[in-house]
């Protein structure tokens, strides 16, 4: 199969397959799905931008795009070819331009770092205005609990 790619705004995008009607209206959305790296263990987070807001980023408004941070940097895919996503929330209409500004600024730091710039922190920064990783927080709490249990078990011997 030949995959046709074209460049828009200095980013290569795969050509869309068949236009698919989506249920998302114009806006910016925080989304997640199971990670392909560790399915059933962690989730992969991204941002979907729909409609005229894409014009602010130098893209056509015709088809929604998914922006996500990977270990290779910020990646942009057509929504219709990127798989299934669970929508966690949308940016309030009065905050959309601020979210677009944050997405543009995220391009200045496209380097993935598990602890300071992971996919969830990227997506939450764009949509909510702050970097937070609930998954990382939960993992840290779990680790502290396991260490506490080990220390407790060793103290009982």
Tokens of 113: 């770092």
The confidence score (pLDDT) of residue 1 equals: 29
The confidence score (pLDDT) of residue 107 equals: 86
DSSP 117: B
Residue 152 Rama label (left phi>0; alpha psi -120 to 50; beta): alpha
Within a 13 Å sphere around the CA of 20, how many CA atoms are in the beta-carbon half? 14
- pLDDT digit string (tens) for the chain, length 157 residues: 233 344 455 554 544 444 444 478 999 999 999 887 777 778 999 999 999 999 999 999 999 999 999 999 999 999 988 988 999 999 999 999 999 999 999 988 889 988 889 999 999 999 999 998 866 655 545 455 445 555 555 666 6
| SS3 of residue 108 by DSSP | coil
Return the residue matching tokens 């009982």: 156
Burial class (CB in 10 A: 0-12, 13-18, 19+), 49: buried
| SS3 of residue 151 by DSSP | helix
The confidence score (pLDDT) of residue 83 equals: 87
Tokens of 57: 């980023």
The confidence score (pLDDT) of residue 9 equals: 53
Domain map (residue ranges) of the chain: 5-131
Ordered DSSP codes for 55-79: GGGTS-SSS-EEEEEETTEEEEEEG
Right CATH for 5-131 from 2.60.40, 3.30.1360, 3.40.1000, 3.90.1720: 3.90.1720
80 near 19, Cβ under 8 Å? yes
8 near 62, Cβ under 8 Å? no
């Amino acid at each position: 199969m030949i995959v046709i790619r074209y460049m828009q705004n200095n980013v290569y995008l795969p050509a869309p397959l068949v236009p698919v009607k989506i249920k998302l209206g114009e806006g910016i959305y925080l989304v997640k799905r199971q990670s392909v790296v560790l399915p059933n263990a962690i989730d992969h987070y991204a941002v979907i931008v729909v409609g005229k807001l894409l014009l602010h980023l130098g893209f056509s408004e015709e088809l929604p795009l998914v922006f996500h941070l990977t270990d290779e940097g910020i990646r942009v895919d057509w929504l219709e070819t990127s798989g299934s996503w669970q929508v966690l929330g949308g940016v309030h209409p009065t905050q959309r331009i601020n979210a677009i500004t944050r997405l543009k600024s995220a391009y200045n730091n496209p380097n993935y770092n598990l602890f300071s710039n992971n996919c969830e922190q990227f997506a939450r920064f764009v949509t909510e205005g702050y970097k937070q990783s609930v998954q990382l927080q939960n993992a840290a709490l779990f680790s502290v609990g396991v260490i506490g249990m080990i220390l407790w078990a060793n103290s009982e011997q």
